[in-house]
Chains A and B, each alone.
Chain A
Amino acid sequence: MLSQLHIIPLLPLLSAAYLILAGRHHSRRVVHHVACMAVGAALLVSADAFFFALPALVESGGLTDVVGTWFASGDLRVDLALRMDALSGLMCLVVTFVGALIHIYSTGYMAHDEDYARFFAYLNLFCGAMLLLVLGDSLPVMFIGWEGVGLCSYLLIGFWYGEAANASAGKKAFITNRVGDLGFLIGMFLLFRAASTFDIPAIVDTARAGSATLTATLWWGQPVAFWAALFLFLGAAGKSAQIPLYVWLPDAMAGPTPVSALIHAATMVTAGVYMVARLGALYLLAPAALAVVAVVGALTALFAAVIAFAQNDFKKVLAYSTISQLGFMFVGVGTGNFAGGIFHLFTHAFFKAGLFLCAGSVMHAMAGSGDITRMGGLCRKLPWTTWVFRICWLAICGVPVFSGFFSKDAIVTGAFATEVFGPHLGWVGPAAGASLLAAALGTAFYMSRLYFLVFTGECRADPHTREHLHESPIEMVGPLLVLGLGALLAGVVGLPSGWPHGDLIGHWLAPAVGRSLEVSSGLEWRVMAGSTAIALAGIGLARLFFGGGAREPARRFVAALPRLVAVVRGKFFVDEIYQGLVVRPMRGLSRLLFLVVDRILIDRLLVGGWAVLVESMGRLLRLLQVGDVQRYLAVFAIGLAALVYVMARPATPSEVKIRVEGRNLAVELSDGEARPGKLDYGFDFDGDGREDVLGPTPSASWSYARPGRYRLRVRITDPQWNTSRTIERSIDIR
């Protein structure tokens, strides 16, 4: 069972298939049992492999499983191969663990939904695809999972497709992802061209060896490795919601909250980070690409944090928070600190999923509303939720001891201390680090705002809702508690390397992503102190504005700087810009194509044209149908006569040999026929119309009296039919 890695993605996929086909005929109990057991079993198998089989093999590349050959063409062969090494094993655990928790949560959250089976089917499908993505050993297999999670994202965001807005959100997610996917494909093909393989370990080895195919200059003076890495990062930016392809994530909050927790917090959006870490050796070969990753990550982290200041929907705040935190992760991998980025991915999975599930819990209590302006004082009615939220809140703010503190610091420290950039790009590390500190301040601020406005102070909801505020059932609170515990304790795997049991995750991941950087403890402590101060400052600032649920100070601020606030509230109008720059021209083009190509060219010309052609041919041919049998027979006779004429003529001679010697001429015809000697030949040499030589021989000669140009005519007669044929030649006599 251990080497049967394919069971891990297979179980959820089979469950999904079954639920899609037959789910709606079963009771809810059966449905959620099947679904949860599928993911649970995947978790058990993953854990079994991870803890028992993997450690022995982790140095040599981990567990592998080849299911079969997907396709082979010429020298190329792509197998359906899975690999669990240090990195993919960790991801596998995260996906199955958080996935299982959210499945259990969903049994409570979606309990009153009609499409219960469909939801779990899609959720299982997602898990299967994500596992395929994580475990895939070659880029095409990973791409199957990549596309699969994109599909499931679309299906689940638009789960309540009855509302047009939800369907649009799903479309937006899918299409934006598609743009990124194009980048992924181009990068994949560039790598194939350089490394002649799609297998990830082979590519990584080629990169580690610094192969010339990868370092050769391609475009604009940059090597192949740079462009491949860049295009792949475009794919990552799409999937992981970085600038410029992040716009789908806030809209994706239209989906059910468990979806947001699983897909848009813990797993799918982290696929980009995972991919960069997996192909880390390639990125190390092109520091410029790493710089792009780091810069984009830093900018996104800051940008999204600012937007989150002005959001009034619980889930939207969390969405922008996710975008921002993903930026942190990309700074991590973008500064060569792959272990750091993955560490933050790990802790983020716990506290962000926890935050989202808390949101779900709150919205469940608020009868589906997520408007924080109408919340407040919920700590009294939702105690468990409030406690888990507090833990996750402090974790994300980076307050010491909580998990987020250690992972954020790992990244910031790694950014300042990085050595992957050369002299030209040396500024990238510290700049990214500084941006992240600013973003951390922002994070602390907006998350604390969220906390104060929702859980403290007086409740601002209407009386009816206030009466129905209640804590969530156990199937929702249970996973919450587990995640809260994780958010509290997960930091333990990434303690600073100087400490006892330090950098466990770094050591574990080393066979896959390389060794962690040695950082001076002085820098470590400085960063820790600084980030703690920043976290507390952010919380304090938020308390000033929103402490106890107050909204007056914020209102005064808004009044003081109306235009700035409008821009932030409008999310910097990025959606509007895209609408004008991309969507409208596309729509216009498509309309143009419709009117010109489809309506005119195809419908009128090609289709209608054929009809007109057929009709006119019909009309023409109808003229032949005179209805008069005698005329038909006459035509028959005419045809017969033509046939007889052609068949009865003597054949053209295959060769006409003319020999001129002075004034003497000799002509010889060779008869290709099988019937020699049955024809008469009449030769007219002098062009007078009378035949000078007659006879059955196909040759004759003549002496010309005078030089000049003569017309030689030979008449071949078939006496049997009394038909003849005339051959003419021009003769020059000198």
Chain B
Amino acid sequence: MNPAAHSASLAEAIVFAILGAGVLAGGLMTITRRNPVSAVMSLVLSFAALAGLFATLSAHFLAVLQILVYAGAIMVLFVFVVMMVNREETTPVARQGLVMRAAGVLAAGYVFYRAAWLVGHERTLPLLAASATPPVKDFGTVASVGALLFSDFLFPFEAISLLLLVAVIGAVMLTRHFHESGPRVS
């Protein structure tokens, strides 16, 4: 760990704390809101904070993408659908098999607790302790990530575009109206 970075870490820590709290708070609110619209908004908040976290990780390209794609496009999509389907629930939590689900949550919690302990215990490992600026100067920029995308990962990149095409077609197909006079796109 670079001792020189120690002094700047207080500011870093505060920023991290705020952003982290934002992410988690947003997430908690998402899962606890009764009103789906509120849930969507909370999620947007969470994603915004997450974008900030990405920035602190020198993942500049992805931070912007997070805002554009996630908080922008995906959440807008969610908003639209919520509007279409808006129906307030009587009980937010599912009634059936509540015991089983709660047990599942507790079990998941146990797993994460153990994982967290491991992480905490081993936090002095170089992998987990690093917070220095990354070696490459333009780490995480559009240019450098883009360069990777178009060289080593060209094939997955093209495949992803195909996947998106499939998703679009799928979404269209799934939501078509079928009437006597032939299918119509709603």
A→B interface (CB under 8 Å): 626, 628, 630-631, 633-638, 640-642, 644-645, 648, 719-723
Q: Is the CB of A631 within 8 A of B111?
A: no
Q: Is the CB of A631 within 8 A of B97?
A: yes
Q: Is the CB of B118 within 8 A of A720?
A: yes
Bound form: Cα–Cα A635–B101 in Å: 8
Q: Is B8 an interface residue (CB 8 A)?
A: no
Bound form: Cα–Cα A719–B100 in Å: 31
Most buried by B among A628, A641, A723: A641
Q: Is B158 an interface residue (CB 8 A)?
A: no
Q: Known contacts being A628-B96, A630-B94, A637-B107, is A722 close to B114, with CB within 8 Å?
A: yes
Bound form: Cα–Cα A633–B108 in Å: 10
Encoded as 1 (CB less than 8 Å from any A CB) or 0, chain B from 70 to 106 comes to: 0000000000000000000000001011001101110
Q: Is B157 an interface residue (CB 8 A)?
A: no
List 14 A-B pairs, Cβ < 8 Å. Answer: A626-B96, A630-B94, A634-B104, A634-B107, A635-B100, A637-B111, A638-B107, A641-B107, A644-B110, A644-B111, A648-B114, A720-B118, A720-B121, A720-B122
- Closest CB in chain A relative to B59 CB, distance in Å: 29
- Closest CB in chain A relative to B15 CB, distance in Å: 30
Residues of B within 8 A of A631 (CB): 96-97, 100-101, 104
Q: Is the CB of B117 within 8 A of A721?
A: yes
Bound form: Cα–Cα A571–B103 in Å: 90
List the B residue with the shortest CB-CB distance to A634: B104
Residues of A within 8 A of B121 (CB): 719-722
Beyond the given pairs A631-B97, A635-B100, 6 more chain A to chain B contacts, judged by CB atoms under 8 angstroms and listed by A's residue number, are: A628-B96, A633-B104, A634-B107, A637-B105, A642-B107, A722-B117
Residues of B within 8 A of A645 (CB): 110
Q: Is the CB of A634 within 8 A of B105?
A: yes
- Identify which of A630, A636, A637, A644 contacts B114 (C-beta below 8 A): A644
Q: Is the CB of A640 within 8 A of B111?
A: yes
- Closest CB in chain A relative to B8 CB, distance in Å: 31
Q: Is the CB of B107 within 8 A of A640?
A: yes
Residues of A within 8 A of B118 (CB): 720-721
B→A interface (CB under 8 Å): 94, 96-97, 100-101, 103-105, 107-108, 110-111, 114, 117-118, 121-122
Across the A-B interface, how many residue pairs have beta carbons closer than 8 Å?
58
Most buried by A among B96, B100, B105: B100
Bound form: Cα–Cα A727–B101 in Å: 34
Bound form: Cα–Cα A645–B110 in Å: 9
- Closest CB in chain B relative to A723 CB, distance in Å: 8
Q: Is the CB of A637 within 8 A of B108?
A: yes
Bound form: Cα–Cα A638–B97 in Å: 14
Q: Is the CB of B103 within 8 A of A638?
A: yes
Q: Is the CB of A634 within 8 A of B101?
A: yes
Residues of B within 8 A of A648 (CB): 114
Bound form: Cα–Cα A642–B103 in Å: 12
Q: Is the CB of A628 within 8 A of B111?
A: no
Residues of B within 8 A of A720 (CB): 117-118, 121-122
Bound form: Cα–Cα A721–B110 in Å: 12
Q: Known contacts being A644-B114, A721-B114, A722-B114, is A628 close to B97, with CB within 8 Å?
A: yes
Bound form: Cα–Cα A633–B101 in Å: 8
Residues of B within 8 A of A626 (CB): 96-97
Bound form: Cα–Cα A188–B94 in Å: 82
Q: Known contacts being A720-B118, A722-B117, is A630 close to B107, with CB within 8 Å?
A: no
Q: Is the CB of A641 within 8 A of B111?
A: yes
List the B residue with the shortest CB-CB distance to A642: B107
Residues of B within 8 A of A722 (CB): 114, 117, 121
List the A residue with the shortest CB-CB distance to B120: A722
Bound form: Cα–Cα A634–B103 in Å: 7
Q: Known contacts being A720-B122, A722-B121, is A634 close to B100, with CB within 8 Å?
A: yes
Most buried by B among A635, A637, A648, A720: A637
Bound form: Cα–Cα A635–B107 in Å: 9
Bound form: Cα–Cα A645–B118 in Å: 13
Bound form: Cα–Cα A373–B137 in Å: 130
* 3 shortest interchain CB distances as A-B pairs: A634-B104, A641-B107, A638-B107
Bound form: Cα–Cα A720–B96 in Å: 38
Residues of A within 8 A of B108 (CB): 637, 640-641
Q: Is the CB of A638 within 8 A of B117?
A: no
Bound form: Cα–Cα A638–B103 in Å: 7
